[in-house]
A and B are shown apart, each in its own frame.
Chain A
Amino acid sequence: MSLPVPPTAVDYWDLFSAFFIIGLVAGGIVVSAMVYYAYVNRRKIGRREFKISRAHFRSRARETVILAMISLTILFSLSVLSDRIAANIQTPPETSTSLVINVNAFQWAFQFIYPNNVTVTTDCRIPVNTTVIFNVTSLDVMHDFGLPQFKIKTDAIPGRHNIIWINVPSLEGQNELTYQIKCYELCGIGHTFMMGNLIVMNQTAFDQWLNQTAVSQGLG
């Protein structure tokens, strides 16, 4: 039983591949150059003289500038690409159907408050095929609300509210999907065990669960 890969993770792996290929090529060239030069020039005893020629220096300086320009361009485009994805991660789409969940991190669990004030800890249940917006804050120290399989997270800081959102994947024939929630900032000795589950359910099961919990919490 495999979990569907959420859209944010797909974006992540695409971007990662772009960085990885560029990094591999650049790193590969430099490392092989180092190894190659070291190999062909190795000597038992070396007696070659030092020579510094200014002409040599100048021409190389031009190449350095060109190289710097090229790398700056590559880096700039990578940066623009990332910024677009980042902007997407933190700006939720303007739809009326999205579900806003307030997340309160505290030592050492996450608390989820639904729009009808139903409050649960540890397990966060969400319906399929919706947009869920997490409005994250902390009640005590700094935490970090992370959804590792979605490849996104945000800091939970006392006094501040940070937003991330997800498009909930479809069930793909399964009954429920369980993704992990973890804290990614050291928050005291309970940090190790500060985790939870993000449980995706079909819409009817979710509505039923929400109503039942509301009743049991006296919210009618």
Chain B
Amino acid sequence: MVTSIFFLALAGTIAELVRGQLAFPNGSLLTPGLYEQAVSFHGLIMILWFLSPFGTAFANYFVPTQIGAKDMAFPRLNAMSYWLYVFSGFMLVSTIFLPGGGPQTGWTLYAPLTTTEYMPQPGMTLSVLALGVLAVSITMSSVNFLTTILGTRIKKMRWWKMPAFSWSILFTNFLMLFAFPPLAAGAILLTMDRVFGTVFFSSMLGGALLWTQYFWFFGHPEVYVVVLPALGAIAEIFVTFSKRPLFQKRVFLIEMAAVTVLSVGVWIHHMFMTGIALGVRETFSFTTMAISVPFEGLVIGLVLTLRKSALRITTPMLFAMGALFFVILGGITGVFQASIALDYAYRGTYWVVGHFHYVMVGTTIFGLVAALYYWFPKITGRMYNEKIGKLTFLFSFIGFNVLYFPYFLLQDMPRRIASYAANPEWFPLNLTATVGALIFGPFILISFLNIGHSAFTGAPCEPNPWDAVSTEWTGDYSIPEPDDPEGGIEESENDNEPEKEAQPPPPSIVPSQNQEETASYEEERSTRTYLPVVVAGGVIFFLYGFIMFAPLAIIGLLIMAGAVVKWFHDDYHDKYAEIKQTLKEKWPFETVGKEKLGLWIFLMSEIVLFGCLISGYIYVRLGSSTWPLAAETHNVVIGSLNTVLLLTSSLAMILAVQAAKNNDQLGIKAGILGAFTLGAMFLMIKLSIEWPREIINGFVITGGLAPSTYYMLMGAHAIHVGIGLGGLTYLMAKGFAGKFTPQSHTALELIGLYWAFVDIVWIFLFPLFYLI
């Protein structure tokens, strides 16, 4: 959380620079080049490195507490995800210091502006890679959250009883799981374009629109990823301070679910001006309007919660009400943009900027600052300064409106321009906005200073100062349980040391397992490890080196490999810890252990990723007038042979799992060895026979869209096969040591599952490339 506030400060400063530049028609604070970098960084950092992680930071602390789980389902994965997030952020920011600077493309990174032809600097490539790393980090974290919420809720925490905030995080993470793979797909293709000379986005044959499709398929759900946690927090705050139950909680949650589902079906409204068929746009215009109906329901539900209430106006309540006001204004202006006809006027103007700042800044920052004030006593056991709190609300509310309301009146001003000498009539409104920014920025900063200062000097308070009824305050999951004020300092909320928050579960929870839980808590303490940070560091080294300086890449790769081996090595010896965990986490999903659940969720995101890559291939293929025949470019015999190899390998794996269940050690060894050999043969044939053959025939990666898509999809699959082989190597080591028993073969099952997935992907790829 501290990290995300740091990113906020950074991006906020950049925003003030931007406003400073635009205060006068001939701003000279920044050169156009620097200005465009500033808007790009501001957008990227604010949305991706501040707003979403800020909500997630709260979730990391309060979701487990609210649902009665001991901690996140996978603490180490959590740490890994955190470090990847931190390092990717630094990687992005560092590009500004590299020769040529960072991206000058806005946060939407529209291709082909982002291709090497127009943005040759390495900073651009690194930024795209940073996005990719972030996507990986977010996927890890959503796997973790979903497993935590689905798999490790306390028995008594029934679905309808789960607090609104945890619900909102559940929806958010489902969205992340679907939204980030398209971004990753886009980043993969763009990186390949920039590094290997493929032509996905630079070719005229439909490539330019491909990026906007990918980006907005990610980008629109991302808005809800940002807003939903804030709404969840607002709901908690409204309930606590109004002393009323959430108005029709079930309807509220159903509406939230509706928003979640609809949000993946509205992205075309960002592309109304791209010349897509009118019928398609009309459909999306209507779905966009339709999404405002459940949203309106959410707002009305919150407002009606205040009816007949006994309302205490505290700082968090004020911020929450402010946020609700901004949802209303931002939401209504959003309906304007849903209209295609009005969008002909709004596309690319400050009206749009005004709208999304009301939604993203207004709702999310006010909502999450409210959450920060609200949960502050819980996190630190101290009270913030109420007077300063209320004062900061007043001024940031006024400042916010002075800053963003003029944007609605600047309907014709284009976004991302560094000066506007041709239109002096825009000057007064821009000056007003800059004045607003000078009020809003400092007062938000004062808010954080208030919090930071009170964390050390605030008056100690009781465990439940708001007299709240939700579980994270009372610790009452409908069974008696002592209150537990947590003494952790704010940083401990970060994912890097999640173990600190884990508390010994009170004796009353499921008494029969009590002993074991306490024991495994001790064990978990011992799982605190530096490995995730090393792996993440290795990844970043590798990527830097990859782009800038090759030896660095090798060092990075070595660090990464070393740490991963060590990680598995730990697991190799710690097998006993795993057994207990699988036994323990059984309640909601009787037969599925949390590891398996996590892997299934992860595979879901992989399916979306491959889905995106494959549909990208289909898209460019359908958009091209000519496409080389499969028979001319690929050898069906080799392809078929590989198909057989991979399928047999899967079969061997299944046999190994069966053998483990029957405690047939020889079967296990044979199965794993068979699977490994066949998989390795597949990869060998691919890399040493098939590809060289094709390259000699002139089918090279830079040779147009057909080879671009071929090597991209085959490469992605081959990397998955490679990872699978790595997993199989580990299994071999373990299998030959005879460590798999009928009770303990989770690793075998998991890697087997993954291996099966890799095969299934091939079953789709084979006909797409070799037969059609």
**Alpha-carbon distance between A190 and B335 when the two chains are bound, in angstroms:** 32
Which A residues are in CB contact (< 8 Å) with B340? 82-83, 86
Which B residues are in CB contact (< 8 Å) with A68? 293-294, 296-297
Closest 4 pairs (CB-CB, A-B): A46-B310, A184-B348, A159-B204, A82-B339
* Those of A115-143 within 8 Å (CB) of chain B: 140-142
**Alpha-carbon distance between A47 and B204 when the two chains are bound, in angstroms:** 67
Q: Are A195 and B339 closer than 8 Å at their CB atoms?
A: no
Mark interface residues in A10-40 (1 if CB within 8 Å of B CB, else 0). 0110011001000100110011011001100
- Nearest CB of chain A from residue B670's CB, rounded to whole Å: 55
B24 interface hit (Cβ, 8 Å): no
Interface size counted on chain A using CB atoms at 8 A: 83
B residues in contact (CB < 8 Å) with A: 32-33, 35-36, 39, 104-106, 108, 110-113, 117-118, 203-209, 241-245, 247-248, 250-251, 273-275, 278, 281-282, 285-286, 289-290, 292-294, 296-297, 299-300, 303-304, 306-313, 321, 324-325, 328-329, 332-333, 335-336, 338-342, 344-345, 347-349, 412, 414-419, 422-423, 469
A41 interface hit (Cβ, 8 Å): yes
Which A residues are in CB contact (< 8 Å) with B105? 186
Q: Are A141 and B204 closer than 8 Å at their CB atoms?
A: no
Beyond A23-B336, A71-B293, A86-B339, list 14 extra A-B contacts (CB 8 Å): A16-B336, A19-B335, A31-B325, A33-B303, A33-B304, A34-B324, A41-B309, A48-B310, A52-B245, A68-B297, A79-B339, A148-B412, A155-B274, A159-B206
List 24 A-B pairs, Cβ < 8 Å: A12-B345, A23-B333, A23-B336, A30-B300, A38-B313, A41-B307, A49-B243, A60-B251, A64-B297, A68-B294, A75-B293, A76-B286, A78-B289, A79-B339, A83-B278, A141-B113, A144-B348, A148-B412, A149-B412, A153-B344, A186-B415, A188-B104, A189-B33, A189-B104
- Nearest CB of chain B from residue A185's CB, rounded to whole Å: 6
**Alpha-carbon distance between A85 and B310 when the two chains are bound, in angstroms:** 49
Q: Are B118 and A140 closer than 8 Å at their CB atoms?
A: yes
Which B residues are in CB contact (< 8 Å) with A52? 245
**Alpha-carbon distance between A163 and B274 when the two chains are bound, in angstroms:** 10
Known: A12-B345, A37-B306, A186-B105. A192 touches B419 (CB 8 A): yes
Q: Are A155 and B275 closer than 8 Å at their CB atoms?
A: yes
Which B residues are in CB contact (< 8 Å) with A159? 203-208
**Alpha-carbon distance between A105 and B321 when the two chains are bound, in angstroms:** 46
Which B residues are in CB contact (< 8 Å) with A153? 273, 344-345, 347-348
Q: Are B106 and A48 closer than 8 Å at their CB atoms?
A: no
Q: Are A43 and B293 closer than 8 Å at their CB atoms?
A: no
Which A residues are in CB contact (< 8 Å) with B293? 68, 71-72, 75
A197 to chain B: closest residue by CB:
B422
**Alpha-carbon distance between A60 and B208 when the two chains are bound, in angstroms:** 49
Q: Are A186 and B310 closer than 8 Å at their CB atoms?
A: no
Q: Are A160 and B275 closer than 8 Å at their CB atoms?
A: yes
**Alpha-carbon distance between A126 and B424 when the two chains are bound, in angstroms:** 26
Q: Are A189 and B36 closer than 8 Å at their CB atoms?
A: yes
Q: Are A48 and B309 closer than 8 Å at their CB atoms?
A: yes
Q: Are A79 and B208 closer than 8 Å at their CB atoms?
A: no
Q: Are A82 and B341 closer than 8 Å at their CB atoms?
A: yes
Set B106, B308, B417, B469: member contacting A41, Cβ < 8 A: B308
Identify the interface centre among A16, A61, A162, A186: most chain B CB within 10 Å of its CB. A186
Which A residues are in CB contact (< 8 Å) with B248? 57, 60-61, 64
**Alpha-carbon distance between A107 and B336 when the two chains are bound, in angstroms:** 31
Set A8, A141, A154, A192: member contacting B112, Cβ < 8 A: A141
Q: Are B339 and A34 closer than 8 Å at their CB atoms?
A: no
Q: Are A47 and B310 closer than 8 Å at their CB atoms?
A: yes
A109 interface hit (Cβ, 8 Å): no
A55 interface hit (Cβ, 8 Å): no
**Alpha-carbon distance between A90 and B289 when the two chains are bound, in angstroms:** 21
Q: Are B414 and A46 closer than 8 Å at their CB atoms?
A: no
Known: A15-B341, A37-B309, A185-B348. A191 touches B289 (CB 8 A): no
